[in-house]
């Protein structure tokens, strides 16, 4: 089974249950396609800590504004290729308010941007999980509301 790991700066606060509830829903839905692991690091974590948490064989994808943009079908192809490239392990890395250090981005094989706009890192986690779910639905040839 494919493992999707999200290494994220910061944690979802108890007062932001709407983020944790949304994440939990997509993780539940993803259960039939992959195993999801979320690693929360302090926003002040050094770059080496992010790199240490990445799988040695995983396809590593940094979420950053200067990354490549794509549509959902293109993202699905990327997820499928990443699963093969990474031996069924895909690591997505989300930075904090100041983004990701260049050292972390350089340790990744791909850079992905969801938009030239900046999103709160907690909301980005929800957006990423929804798109990963959508990607698996596309790869499985299943319908997904648009």
For residue range 80-127, list pLDDT tens digits in order.
999 888 789 999 999 998 899 999 999 999 999 999 998 998 999 999
Radius of gyration of the chain, Cα coordinates, nearest whole angstrom = 14
| Higher-pLDDT residue of 146, 39 | 39
Enumerate domains of the chain plus CATH numbers.
2-139 (3.40.1280.10)
CB 90 within 8 A of CB 37: no
User: Structure pTM?
Assistant: 0.95
Which has the minimum average pLDDT: 11-15, 50-54, 104-108, 123-127? 11-15
Q: What is the C-alpha to C-alpha distance for residues 141 and 80, in angstroms, rounded to an integer?
A: 13
Q: How confident is the model at residue 144 (pLDDT cuts 50, 70, 90)?
A: confident
């Amino acid at each position: 089974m494919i493992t999707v790991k999200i290494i994220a700066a910061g944690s979802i606060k108890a007062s932001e249950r709407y983020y944790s509830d949304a994440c939990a829903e997509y993780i539940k839905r993803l259960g039939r396609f992959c195993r999801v692991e979320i690693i929360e690091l302090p926003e002040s974590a050094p770059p080496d800590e992010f790199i240490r948490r990445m799988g040695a064989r995983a396809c590593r994808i940094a979420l950053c504004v200067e990354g490549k943009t794509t549509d959902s079908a293109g993202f699905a192809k990327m997820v499928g290729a990443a699963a093969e490239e990474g031996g069924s392990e895909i690591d997505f890395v989300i930075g904090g308010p100041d983004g990701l250090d260049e050292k972390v981005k350089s340790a990744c094989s791909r850079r992905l941007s969801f938009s030239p706009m900046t999103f709160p890192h907690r909301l980005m986690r929800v957006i990423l999980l929804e798109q990963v779910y959508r990607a698996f639905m596309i790869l499985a040839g299943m319908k997904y509301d648009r």
